[in-house]
Structure 1
Amino acid sequence: MEHLLFIAMGWFVGGFVNGLAGFGAAMVAMPIISYVMDVSLLVPSATMIVLTLNCHAGWIYRKHIEWRYTKTLLLGAIPGVVLSAYALQFAPEQLLRFGMGAFVAFYAVWSLFFEKKEGRVINPAWGYVAGVMSSSLGMAFSFNGPPLAVYTAYCGCPKNAVKAILSAGFILTGVLIVSTQVVIGNIDIYALTLYAVSVPAVVCGSKLGIYLSGFISEASYRKFFFVLMAVLGLKIAGNALQFLL
C-alpha cells in the first residue's frame, strides 16, 4: 500500500511540471518512483497515464490550438510509426538516444543564452519532420517529447497554444504506443492497478500546474520551457552514455 502512495506522489509531481510546461510528466515522475520499484515495471502503466494526462490537457487548451502547426505534426506522425520498425536496424538504440538527448540539450542551452532573434518563427512544414521523429522515437523508445518540444519552441505561438499543439502531438503518438502495448500483451492487471492509482494524482498535479502557469509571463514560460528541455536532453544523453561506455 505504501509503495502505491509513493507512486501516486511521483505522478502528482510529474503532472504538476507537465501542467506548467506542457510536457515532462514521465521524465519527472519515473525517477521519483524508481526509488520503490523497477522502472521497467512502470512502462505499460506510464504510457496509459501520460495519454490520459495529455487528453486532459488537450481538452483544456482545445480553444487555443493552432491548426496550421498541428495538422502537419499529426500527418507526419503516421509514417513515423513505420520508420520506427526499421530505425534500430541501422543504428544502435543507445547511440540514437544519446544523439537525440545531446541535440536537445545543446539546442535548449543555445536558445537560453545565445539566441538573439526575437520573434523568430519556423515554417509549419517542419511539423512533418517533428511528427515523423516524435512517433518513431515514441514507438521505438517510449519517449516522444524532444522533437515536439523543439518544434513548438519556435512556432511563434503563445504558451497556451504551445501546450495545445504539444497535447495534440502527444495524444496521437500516445494512442499508437498504448495500442501497441495492448496488442503485445503488456497491459495486465498490475498495469491497470497502477493506472487507477496514479491517474487522480497526475490530473490533480496537472490542474495545479495549469492554474499556476496563468501567473507566469510569456518570457518566464519560455525560459522554463528551455530549462526543462535542457534537463530532458541531458537525462536522455546521460542514461544512454552509461550503456555506451
Structure 2
Amino acid sequence: MLASLPDISSLTILLLGALTAGFVTGFAGFGTGLVASGFWFHVLPAATVPPLVVMASVAAQLVSLIGLRPRFDWPQAAPYLIGGILGVPLGVMALAAASPDLLRTAVGIFLVLYALVQFSGLLRLQIGGWGGRSSDAAVGIGGGIMGGFAGLSGPLPLIWLQLRGGPATGQRAVYQPFNLIVLATASAGMALGGQVDTAVLTALLFSVPATVVGAWTGARLYHKASESLFRRVVLSLLLLSGVMLVLQSLGRNGVFG
C-alpha cells in the first residue's frame, strides 16, 4: 500500500494525478477533486482520497489564485460562501458514515454524470437571476456538502453560474474564492474529525509538489490555450475516470463474477 512502502507504479499514478489535477485547477480554477479522484482511488484506500483531495485542492487554489485575486467578486460570492460553510460539516459527517465502496461508486457516478451533462450542451441554457441570492446560497450548501464529503466543491456552483450566464472571467471570480474557502474549511473539519491520518500525510508529502507545479503551469497557460479544446480534453478524462471507478467498484463487489 502506498502509505507504507510505495511501489513505482502506485507512486507514478499518484504523481500523475497530482500533476494533472493541479494543471486543470490552475487553468480552469477548479477540478482538483474531479481529476485527482479518478487517479487516486486506484492506488489509495478509498477513505484516504477525500482528505488528500481537499488538502491538495487548497494548495492548487492558492497557486492559481495569484493572477486572479484583483478580480474577486466578494459581494456576488457571499451567498455561496455562507451556504458552503454551512454545508461542509454535513459533508464531513457523511464521509465519516460512508463505506469506502459506496464512496468510490458515488464519486464515479458523479464524474460520469457531470461529464455527460457538460458534453450534452445543457449548460448553454440560461436562467438569468432566477431564484436570487437565496438560490445561490442553496447551491453553496450543496457545494459545501460535496466539498466536505469528497473535495468536490466546485462543480455545483460552476454549473449554476454557467446557467446564470455572464462572462467566464466573472464566473471564475465567484467560484474560485468559494472553492478556496470551502476547501480550507473542509480541511479543518476533516482534521478535527480524524480523517487526516499518517496515510493521508504520507500521500500529501508526495503529491503537493506535483500539484503546485501543475497549478503554476496551468495558471501560466490560462490566457493562451484554447478553452474549447481544453474543455473537451478535461471532460473526456473525467468521463473515462468515472467509468473506470464505477466498473472497478462493481468488480470488487462481484457484479462481474
TM-score (norm 2): 0.70
Query: Per-residue deviation at 1:147?
Result: 0.6
Q: 2:222 matched to 1:197?
A: no
Which is worse superposed, 127-136 or 159-168? 159-168
Aligned counterpart, 1:143 = 152
One of 118, 132, 136 as aligned partner of 1:108: 118
Unaligned runs of 5+ in 1: none
Pairing partner for 2:224 from 203, 215, 220: 215
Matched, 1:129 2:146: no
1:46 aligns to 2:53 (yes or no) = yes
Note closer, same or farther for the CA distance 1:188–1:201 as it changes in structure 2 (3 Å cut). Answer: same
Which of 160, 184, 193 in structure 1 is aligned with 2:193? 184
CA distance in 1, matches of 2:245, 2:58: 24
Aligned letter for 2:222? S
Higher deviation after alignment, 48-57 or 183-192:
183-192
Mapped pair 1:172 → 2:205: no
Provide the C-alpha distance between the structure 1 equivalents of 2:136 and 2:208, rounded to a whole number of angstroms: 30
Q: Which amino acid aligns with 1:122?
A: G
Cα 1:100–1:16, aligned 2, differ >3 Å: closer, same or farther?
closer
Show CA shifts across 1:212-236 (max 9, x none).
Answer: 22113xxx52674477468647855
Change (3 A) 1:163 1:204: farther
RMSD: 3.8
Alpha-carbon distance between aligned partners in 1 of 2:111 and 2:39, rounded to the nearest angstrom = 20
The number of equivalent residue pairs is 235
Q: Answer whether contact 2:48 2:195 (CA < 8 A) is retained.
A: no
Aligned match of 2:71: 64
**Structure 2: which 5+ runs fail to align?**
1-5
- The change in CA–CA distance for 1:239 and 1:32 in structure 2 (over 3 A counts) is closer
CA distance in structure 2 between the aligned counterparts of 1:178 and 1:88, rounded to whole angstroms: 14
State the secondary structure of the residue aligned to 2:186. helix
Q: Secondary structure at the match of 1:187?
A: coil
Aligned partners of 1:100 and 1:233 also within 8 Å: no
Q: Contact 1:108/1:229 (CA < 8 Å) preserved in 2?
A: yes
Give aligned-pair identity as a percent: 21
User: Do the aligned partners of 1:104 and 1:230 also contact (CA within 8 Å) in 2?
Assistant: no
Check conservation: 1:100, 1:237, Cα contact below 8 A.
no
